[in-house]
Structure 1
Amino acid sequence: MLIGGMMMVEDWKHFLLPYQQAVDELKVKLRGMRKQFQDQSQHSPIEFVTGRVKPVESIQEKMVRRHVQEDRLAQDMQDIAGLRIMCQFVDDIYQVVDILRSRSDINIIEERDYISNVKPSGYRSYHIVIEYPVQLVTGEQKILAEIQVRTLAMNFWATVEHSLNYKYQGEFPVEMAERLKNAAEAAFQLDTEMSEIREEIQEAQTLFSHGRGKGFESATED
């Protein structure tokens, strides 16, 4: 039902239900991939997975800002369903992307590499838009979802930048914008340094996960 050209809450709940199902299913599948790597005693390129359905007010705001027509919402807004895959190392990101490309249960529509092609703000992440089939009681419905793959350092920067962007409504003071860009470069330098000692880190994590780090753990707690 439409009133004044805007969907009512009841309709939003019905409209967003398949998106929530898609997010829930994909979180289970992606987290399952991590467990499979661990079961084989291999390094998992996936550190953890989060997901959400965009809030109604955010959808409405973006519809106005991007001039998205209501009857084109499912086709033109790609991030109503959103998932985020966090990785330890930059190379892990591209391994995850390769894994997603090989899956038969998703269809990749678009890829945007903001790591090799960093945004002017300093933002880095790998974005993948997928088409995912959701099985409903009324039949199959294909849902668009966006998956962002990034390192923990990239995610920390992006979370801070998002909060500040909300405060300044996208109009950052020049000094703030420059500081954020410098912070993004520092975060990427951290990722680069961690990649240089990746083998040492993974060996230490393997030792610790097998219980040989218990003495160290208790020592740090005293």
Structure 2
Amino acid sequence: MNWEEFLAPYAQVVEELKVKLKGMRKQFVHESRHSPIEFITARVKPIPSILEKAERRQVPLTNIAEEIQDIAGIRVVCQFVDDIYTVVNMLQSRSDFTIISEKDYINEKKRSGYRSYHMTIQYPVETIHGRKLVLAELQIRTLAMNFWATNEHSLNYKYEGRIPVEIEKRLQLAAEAAFNLDEEMSKIKNEIQEANRMFHRL
């Protein structure tokens, strides 16, 4: 397989979606309104990670484009839980891509404690060979959820997916603490937003 050629459309998807999402954030800021988007990160999955996932899921190389949906990954990080659903609603109303599936791991958290909103989309990329439909995964989560998930991902990598029971229990407690933090911050959301507006006027 020519990996450079295969991954080029995914890199294009990542760059185009980053520009569009950052554009949405700038519009909120320009209108002096609270932006539901705090920041955006994006990446194309490294080749070894693609191969490892394909092997783990027994996906033949010829089916990778259809069966591995997070080769292009975009993460939208928000301040508050309800910001997540504001972003979700905005994405659902767009016409420049098609939503294939959605998973709400906030209301239905994973056993590990993981919380996030996942959206798989089909995005049209214009290439020199014509239009290509590329799958991408959007993850929308709060700062607290992102902090927890980043550390859980590192531990999963360290222990090759077999995190010791004691650490797993602590992670579950930490996930609940992170969600409690989100809930408490949501209760004083208006005060925080007013403070931010005052700060940026200085």
- Measured against the shorter chain, the TM-score band is over 0.9
Structure 1 CA distance for aligned equivalents of residues 160 and 46 of structure 2:
18
Please list, as runs of the form range in 1=range in 2, the aligned pairs for 1:45-194 lying within 5 A after superposition: 45-194=36-185
Q: Deviations over 1:179-215 (max 9, x none)?
A: 000000000000001000000000000000111xxxx
Letter paired with 2:14: V
* Residue 186 of structure 2 corresponds to residue 202 of structure 1: no
Structure 1 CA distance for aligned equivalents of residues 100 and 167 of structure 2:
35
Structure 2 CA distance for aligned equivalents of residues 169 and 73 of structure 1:
22
SS of residue matched to 2:132? strand
Please list, as runs of the form range in 1=range in 2, the aligned pairs for 1:203-218 lying within 5 A after superposition: 203-211=194-202
Structure 2 CA distance for aligned equivalents of residues 40 and 110 of structure 1:
32
Partner in structure 1 of residue 11 of structure 2:
20
Structure 2 CA distance for aligned equivalents of residues 171 and 60 of structure 1:
20
- TM-score, scaled relative to structure 1: 0.90
Structure 2 CA distance for aligned equivalents of residues 152 and 140 of structure 1:
35
SS of residue matched to 1:52? strand
- Consecutive unaligned residues of structure 1, counting only runs of 5 or more, are 1-6, 212-222
Shift of 1:170: 1.2
SS of residue matched to 2:109? coil
Structure 2 CA distance for aligned equivalents of residues 186 and 146 of structure 1:
27
Structure 2 CA distance for aligned equivalents of residues 182 and 92 of structure 1:
24
Identity %: 62
Q: Report the number of matched residues.
A: 202
Letter paired with 2:17: L
Query: Could you list the runs of 4 or more consecutive aligned residues of structure 1 that deviate by over 4 angstroms after TM superposition?
Result: none
Shift of 1:39: 1.0
Structure 1 CA distance for aligned equivalents of residues 158 and 196 of structure 2:
39
- TM-score, scaled relative to structure 2: 0.99
Structure 2 CA distance for aligned equivalents of residues 76 and 174 of structure 1:
31
* Residue 29 of structure 2 corresponds to residue 38 of structure 1: yes
Structure 2 CA distance for aligned equivalents of residues 133 and 140 of structure 1:
6
- Consecutive unaligned residues of structure 2, counting only runs of 5 or more, are none
SS of residue matched to 2:184? helix
Q: Computing the radius of gyration over CA atoms, which structure comes out larger, 1 or 2?
A: 1
